[in-house]
Structure 1
Amino acid sequence: MWMLRSLRVFLLVARTGSHPAGSLLRQSPQPPHTFHAGPCLSASASSKELLMKLRRKTGYSFVNCKKALETCGEDLKQAEIWLHKQAQKEGWSKAAKLQGRKTKEGLIGLLQEGNITVLVEVNCETDFVSRNLKFQQLVQQVALGTMMHCQNLKDQLSTYSKGFLNSSELSRLPAGPDREGSLKDHLALAIGKLGENMTLKRAAWVKVPSGFYVGSYVHGVMQSPSLHNLVLGKYGALVICETSEQNANLEDIGRRLGQHVVGMAPLSVGSLDDEPGGEAETKMLSQPYLLDPSITLGQYVQPQGVSVVDFVRFECGEGEEAAETE
């Protein structure tokens, strides 16, 4: 039977010059590795490199970065924009859910550039998050946004100027020279990343002309090399002084005055003519000097060749307890 089938195939080939599977017989057999894996592997390596770049640049998860690249056709810049938009949406959603939660923790940020000094407060729920670099970068953005706002004010200074920004005013400010969007946008991004309620509580700025000096002090300092000249802590003070002469110790005097304001929490400057007060005294110059209670602050300042004219004091979380009681 087998021989009969073979004979039929032989006769068919002889008659037609073809084989039932002739097309296959005429093709040169190809080795298994010739399905061109090379370009695919190259594309895969390229995608992996883009993914790593996107993760390093944005800090978002592997899954989100992968989805961003797929959505944007492997365009790195567009993928970054897409990620920020998605994170912002997620941040707003989280912000709405977390809105009622108390924000008693956070940081005070101090930034000085030229004749401008700013003090800002940003709050969060836990001290753990306040130590996170992403939260600290948010404080930096608020300080830079406030600094830029102050620099853009058109004023002719004959004396010092001082201003305050509340939470809603801060939210509307641009985020700073190298960032897109408003501070409100960056707050949403931080909430989306860190998963805690946060608030841009307040900011103060002081601008001084020649003949004035701003002393500053921050207590409980946390400082990161990546945060430019920003100084972070739990308490902060600015003390505005007028001086008629160059004083080599002006920076040290300013720091000591700032320490006094943080520690003694005065409510007004007062006058050198005021009677010395006790521990309950609220006029700054009449208070016992924090670093030497045997004299008043006025008695410390008078020989230094400076006059204290104003001050600002921030304490992180102050006012929250009063708000809760109300």
Structure 2
Amino acid sequence: MSFTAADVKALREKTGAGMMDCKKALQENDGDIDAAVDWLRAKGIAKADKKAGRTAAEGLIGVASDANSAVVVEVNCETDFAARNDAFQTIVRHVAQSALGTDGLVEAVANAAYPGGEKNVKDTISEAVGTIGENMTLRRSQKLSQPEGVVAHYIHNAVADNLGKLGVLVALKTSGDKEKASAFARQVAMHVAAVNPVALTPDDIPADVAEREKAIFVEQARESGKPENIIEKMVEGRMRKFYQESALVKQAFVMNPDVTVEQALKDAGIGDDAELTGFVRFLVGEGIEKEEDDFAAEVAAAAGK
């Protein structure tokens, strides 16, 4: 597979590696960018999360909640200027309110009635494009419910009530004090915002994600020149650490790094049956590639160079 200068640039943005290293990685992996990322990591040239999931699109995250459920939505626009517009913020807030009455799936939210009018969410957003002057989309939505407990939410660096660039929901099941449970669940939501776990528990980590990490660890261990039996033990140790660092309940709790989230829950005094049952984390534009204008290249092209 061949690759282009744009592929090299994309790989550099993902990994922070040098241009020649990126070219070498693409050559070694037939132009496959994902495989090239793994190759660079295995060689110790790139870190796992270097610029991963970088925010490339604009817009806002909105949340809404009731007694036992909450929903988080992402509505995108083209510029941060539009995202700071009162009209756009009102739309995002109302979309979240509409989503609360659905199962949280995007299609259901798009077809839900928009508050205070006769139109649905999809048509209201389409109409607003002409008013605000930018393309707008309802990108994603998710709902968490916990009838036997609470669902807390957290917006990081909120631009207005229940609106911001990063939103988290956390569901907690318990027969204990709901007010204390809500306070603790909000702390966990702040933890999720800061640490970005892969999954709730080690068993919830997707097999393909674990296998990909293991393959990288094997390659890194072999680079050390150690015997195969030592390599196996090295990989086992690194995988244990991977599961601890990636699963929410096993992570060191940001509010008290001396204990895990799992232990903090036990110590919270909200019931012996207390259990974290789910979380959602939305970052605006996460995973979206955005074209960046190269002004110098445009000037050169205009000058015929």
Query: Do they superpose with TM above 0.5?
Result: yes
What is the aligned partner in structure 1 of residue 61 from structure 2?
108
The residue number in structure 2 matching 1:218 is: 155
Instruction: Report the counterpart of residue 267 of structure 2 in structure 1.
Output: 303
Amino acid corresponding to residue 221 of structure 1 in structure 2: A
Q: What letter is aligned with 1:104? A: A
Q: Distance in 1 between matches of 2:199 and 2:146?
A: 20
Structure 2: how far apart are the matches of 1:113 and 1:248?
14
Q: Do the aligned partners of 1:276 and 1:296 also contact (CA within 8 Å) in 2? A: no
Show the counterpart of 1:175. Answer: 114
Kindly indicate whether the alpha-carbon contact (under 8 Å) linking 2:69 and 2:150 is maintained by their aligned counterparts in 1: no
In terms of Rg, which structure is larger?
A: 1
User: What does 1:242-281 correspond to in 2, within 5 Å?
Assistant: 242-246=173-177, 248-270=179-201, 277=241, 281=245
Distance in 1, Cα, partners of 2:151 & 2:262:
17
Measure the CA separation in 1 of the matches of 2:291 and 2:105: 19
The aligned amino acid for 2:76 is N
Q: What is the identity, as a one-letter code, of the residue corresponding to 2:85?
A: N
Asked whether 1:189 is paired with 2:189, we answer: no
Aligned-pair CA distance for 1:276:
8.0
What is the alpha-carbon root mean square deviation over aligned residues? 2.8
1:238 touches 1:258 (CA, 8 Å); kept in 2?
Answer: yes
d(CA) in 2 for partners of 1:285 and 1:323? Answer: 37
The alpha carbon displacement at 1:238 in A equals 0.9
Gap change, CA 1:243 and 1:130, over 3 Å in 2 = same
Match of 2:125, as an amino acid?
Answer: L
1:131-142 matches, within 5 Å, as 131-142=84-95
Q: Deviations over 1:201-256 (max 9, x none)?
A: 111112332x3111211101122xxxxxx510111111111112225422321111
Q: Percent identity?
A: 33
Instruction: Give yes or no for contact 1:262–1:313 (8 Å, CA) kept in 2.
Output: yes
Letter in 2 for 1:220: N
Distance 1:262 1:248, change over 3 A: same
Mapped contact 1:124–1:130 kept (Cα < 8 A): yes
Match of 1:165 among 85, 88, 105: 105
Matched residue, 1:312: 280
Aligned amino acid, residue 191 of structure 1: V
Q: CA 1:276/1:256 → structure 2, altered by over 3 Å: closer, same or farther?
A: farther
Question: Does the residue aligned with 2:123 lie in a helix, a strand or coil?
Answer: helix
CA distance 1:318–1:192, shift in 2 (3 Å): same
Q: Which residue pairs with 1:241 in the alignment?
A: 172
> Following TM superposition, by how much is the alpha carbon of 1:169 offset from its aligned partner in structure 2, in angstroms?
4.5
Q: Which runs of 5+ in 1 are unaligned?
A: 1-101, 151-163, 224-229
Write the distance in 1 (CA, Å) between the matches of 2:121 and 2:77.
15
Give the Cα separation in 2 of the matches to 1:278 and 1:294.
18
* C-alpha distance in 1 between matches for 2:243 and 2:255: 14
Change (3 A) 1:118 1:323: farther
Flag the structure with more relative contact order, 1 or 2, with Cα contacts below 8 A and sequence separation at least 6. 2
TM-score w.r.t. the length of structure 2 is: 0.59
Provide, for residues 95-115 of structure 1, a one-character-per-residue CA deviation record: whole Å limited to 9, x for no partner: xxxxxxx97011111111232
Aligned length: 199
The structure-2 alpha-carbon separation of the partners of 1:103 and 1:115, relative to structure 1 and needing over 3 Å to count, comes to: same
Q: 1:323 to 1:288 in 2, by over 3 A?
A: farther
Say which SS state the counterpart of residue 267 (structure 1) adopts.
coil
Stretches of 4+ aligned residues off by more than 4 angstroms: 275-280
Q: Confirm or deny that 1:198 pairs with 2:136.
A: yes
- CA deviation string 1:31-55 (max 9, x = no partner): xxxxxxxxxxxxxxxxxxxxxxxxx
Residues 200 and 247, structure 2, Cα contact 8 Å, conserved in 1: yes
Contact 1:103/1:123 (8 A) holds in 2 = no
Give 1:311's aligned amino acid. Answer: F
Letter in 2 for 1:308: L
Letter in 2 for 1:284: L
**Aligned equivalent of 1:292:** 256
Deviation string 1:29-82 (CA, Å, 9 cap, x unpaired) is xxxxxxxxxxxxxxxxxxxxxxxxxxxxxxxxxxxxxxxxxxxxxxxxxxxxxx
C-alpha contact 2:144 2:278 (8 A) present in aligned 1 = no
Alpha-carbon spacing, 1:239–1:182, altered in 2? closer, same or farther (3 Å): same
Task: Return 5+ residue gaps in structure 2 as ranges.
Answer: 1-54, 204-238, 293-305
Q: Is the 8 A contact 2:149 2:178 kept in 1?
A: no
Residue 271 of structure 1: how far off its partner (Å): 6.5
CA–CA separation in structure 2 for the residues paired with 1:276 and 1:285: 14
TM-score, normalising length: structure 1: 0.55
